[in-house]
Amino acid sequence: MKTHLISLKPAHAAGAILLAAAMLFAAGTAGAASAFVSLKKDSNGLFTLTINDGDGIKSFSLVPSGKGPYGGEIAKCPRVFQNTNVLFADPADFTPVMAASITDCSGNTDELEIPPPEDGATRSKRLKPPAPPPAPEEKASESEAAAETPTSRPAKSEAEAEAVKAELKYPIAELGNCGSEVSCRAYCEELANIKTCIAYAESHRLITAEEAAEGRRFAEAGGRGPGGCTSRESCAAYCEDITRIDECLEFAEKNGFLSGKELEEAQAVAKVRREGVQFPGGCTTKAQCETYCQQSGNMEECLAFAERSGLIPPEELAQAKKMLPLIKEGKTPGGCTRKESCEAYCQQPGNMRECLAFAESNGLIPPEELEQAKKFLPLMERGETPGGCRSKEQCEAYCGGEGHLEECLDFGERSGFISKEDAELARKTGGAGPGGCRSKEQCEAYCGDPEHVEDCVSFAERTGLISSEDAEMARQAGGSGPGGCRSRDECEEFCKDPANSEECVQFSVKSGQINPEEAGFAKTLNCRSREECMALCQQPENAEKCAALAGPPGGPDHGGPPPGFDGEGKPGSIREEIQRQFEEEALRRRQLPEGKEGQIPEEFRRQFEGQVPFPGGGATEGQFPGGGATDSQFPGGADADRIRQEFQQQNRQQIDAEIQKQIEAETQRRMQEETERLRNLTPEGSYPLPPETAYPSAIPPSADEEIKRCTESGGSWNGTACILPSAPTSSRPGGIQENAANALQSFTRFLKGRR
């Protein structure tokens, strides 16, 4: 149920050319049907006429047998047209067939024929379907055919689907004994029969794995969509109107019809509409916008709209701006201006080198794709490609057919398009994934169905694509990730947005990847790998953030280190050891020795002289203002006490600052050592103790008598003076470094849980 504005990402020259020319509304489900006409008679004998064309309906014509045509132009180029009171003579107007034609908004015409109704209903068929692909060179043996799952050969094209339908034998017992395509279709429109019909169609290659998965999701949603629609056609007709995008988007998102990038694009379109922005030329449907924006005179307006509304990614916008003047000036290959004309021109053998050179000179093709194209082109010119295919689509169709796998793998290996390992894996799996999917889109659709999770996980585990640990995690996740993402790219794109952090973290907790206590790190830091989170927690500016996540030592419920982190060498004990060592030193260095009353000890007199400023004068240089030499005596009384207090206060502040600086430096050094050790965890997840290290003492070594005398009196030697005990200052429990160490403890547990 997709209704959103998109721009085609260029994978080659033709795609790049189209980018500047088209912004498309895509409505309906993936793999939408081609142009068709259906008629269903009501109780009054009137027919409901439904006409569908994914490229928009410009005009139509129905020609009853032996009568004049019924039809005409349709305004606004809708994808679906419906009239509920059409009168035809049944069966005369349909005998032998009723001729029909539909012209889309790009000027392409489909010629159809409508057979006589059965049970009041009929549906058109193509008058001249394209020739089916070449038959396989070798037919699989009966045992091989029996072993192959029915869905391992999904139809690759409409032509192949028509060939498969021709093999069906009516009546079909599994579908209520319906006797024709029309009656079977009517049977399958009943809600009670949807799942039965999907299973039958998928097993007989009438629909792809993607379409089957979407059908099951539609059935799970009750078989009714926005506006009460019950079929692809009726839902497409309802959601064609851009004014209903919010309703259709809500249904599509809720039921998994949109996810990842497609969902983001649809939400962007809905946002633009809610803001009252007018679309180019006032278009309200895919066909209208496509028709308007493909006209060279409107391209600039369309591009400006896309840029202003943010509907084109920056890299695609840059390429579109490159292409716009080239299209206007007619400098594109063959002067093409539309997707169809550019692809038609560039697929001609004689034009391919011109198109490749154009793409290269204008920077429209990524280097890796350019290299592959240059390797592929001469092989194609010499007719050495599998089945003589000349485009990606042709090659995929041929190599997806039965009996061509080995030929295509040999070609891929020989030409360097596939590694030997990948080729062996393809041979091992028969070139098909779970449920027989043969493309990324088919496999993602099949594996996006919750019913297929075990099948897909087992396949990936069996073929070595994922480890047993990852397989178990995938089973717990249930086949889809946060935001409904169904592939690694989708999930990474969704979770790198900080706005989605909460949802992604909760998903990890729910699936058992991390526990609730550890979830805070991933959510707050928005880091997506072990190394990234570790690096963020080591940065000083993140210390408080990591500390807040960690809480007190040992976590919120325990007073000691967490399990597995107690003992020597762990982050908590490192911090405690450093704190204890430096606090003891600080205590000794803050203390002033006692001397005789009114006398300063000799060691402090030497340090004090020439340093302490006095009111009204500069340095003392051994003299007090207005007096003679002090010798070893301070002036008595209050002045001596004041000087002593000033010195003690200044000394404490200097020592505290120095000690804190040393604590921070030493803690950071040891935490970095511990971090490096934790990066090399043993496979069992244990944390081996680091080698014993003799950490340098903060007290300069000395053995003279003054130090001995100082320590005997209960003081501490600071290198030049002895400091006796006084009131200790606070050690600031819970400071930034302690919190950082605690954060490292909890974060290491978090990393261990993520392994």
Note the pLDDT tens digit of each residue in 614-665.
333 443 344 333 444 434 343 444 455 665 566 566 666 666 676 667 767 7
- What is the residue range of 611's domain? 571-619+634-682+700-754
> Last residue of some domain: 126, 145, 160?
126
Q: Are residues 669 and 601 in the same domain?
A: yes
pLDDT number for residue 344: 80
The structural domain count of the chain equals 3
Other beta carbons within 10 Å of 191: 12
Q: Are residues 658 and 578 in the same domain?
A: yes
The tokens describing 236, both together, are 């497409």
SS3 call for 80: strand
Q: Residue 59 falls within a domain, yes or no?
A: yes
- Single-letter amino acid code for the residue at 519: A
Q: Are residues 50 and 197 in the same domain?
A: no
CATH (domain of 117): 2.60.40
Q: Residue 431 falls within a domain, yes or no?
A: no
SS3 call for 695: coil
pLDDT number for residue 614: 39
Cα–Cα nearest to 588, from 722, 698, 701: 722
Measured between alpha carbons, how far is residue 236 from residues 51, 637, 696, 703 in Å?
A: 11, 100, 77, 93
pLDDT number for residue 716: 67
- Quick check: 114 and 102 in contact, CB under 8 A? no
Q: Are residues 59 and 146 in the same domain?
A: no
> Last residue of some domain: 207, 232, 250?
207
The tokens describing 630, both together, are 């002090």
Q: Residue 667 falls within a domain, yes or no?
A: yes
Q: Residue 137 falls within a domain, yes or no?
A: yes
pLDDT number for residue 93: 92
What counts of helices (H) and strands (E) characterise the chain?
A: 31, 13
pLDDT number for residue 116: 92
CA atoms within 13 A of residue 643's CA, in its CB half-sphere: 22
Longest dimension (CA), the chain: 138
Burial of 430 (0-12, 13-18, 19+ CB in 10 A): middle
Q: Residue 462 falls within a domain, yes or no?
A: no
Distance CA 102, CA 55 (A): 11
Q: Are residues 191 and 101 in the same domain?
A: no
Cα end-to-end distance, the chain, whole Å: 38
Residues in the chain where the model's pLDDT stays below 70: 1-34, 128-162, 339, 439-441, 477-480, 486-489, 511-523, 525-534, 544, 547-656, 658-660, 663, 667-668, 670-707, 709-711, 713-714, 716-755
pLDDT number for residue 581: 60
Q: Are residues 69 and 157 in the same domain?
A: no
Query: What pairs with residue 723 in β-bridges?
Result: 716
Q: Are residues 81 and 167 in the same domain?
A: no
Distance CA 409, CA 423 (A): 6
- Quick check: 528 and 721 in contact, CB under 8 A? no
> Last residue of some domain: 207, 222, 249?
207
Q: Are residues 655 and 732 in the same domain?
A: yes
Distance CA 613, CA 601 (A): 19
Q: Are residues 91 and 139 in the same domain?
A: no
- Quick check: 545 and 525 in contact, CB under 8 A? yes
Cα–Cα nearest to 442, from 492, 396, 406: 396
Q: Are residues 705 and 748 in the same domain?
A: yes
Q: Are residues 72 and 201 in the same domain?
A: no
Q: How confident is the model over 16-71, as pLDDT tens digits?
A: 222 222 222 222 333 334 688 989 898 888 999 989 887 788 899 999 988 888 88
Q: Residue 161 falls within a domain, yes or no?
A: yes
pLDDT number for residue 343: 78
Q: Residue 589 falls within a domain, yes or no?
A: yes
Q: Residue 311 falls within a domain, yes or no?
A: no
Distance CA 475, CA 471 (A): 6
SS3 call for 298: helix
Tabulate helix, strand, coil % of the chain (nearest 5): 50, 10, 40
Q: Are residues 163 and 79 in the same domain?
A: no
Distance CA 659, CA 52 (A): 81
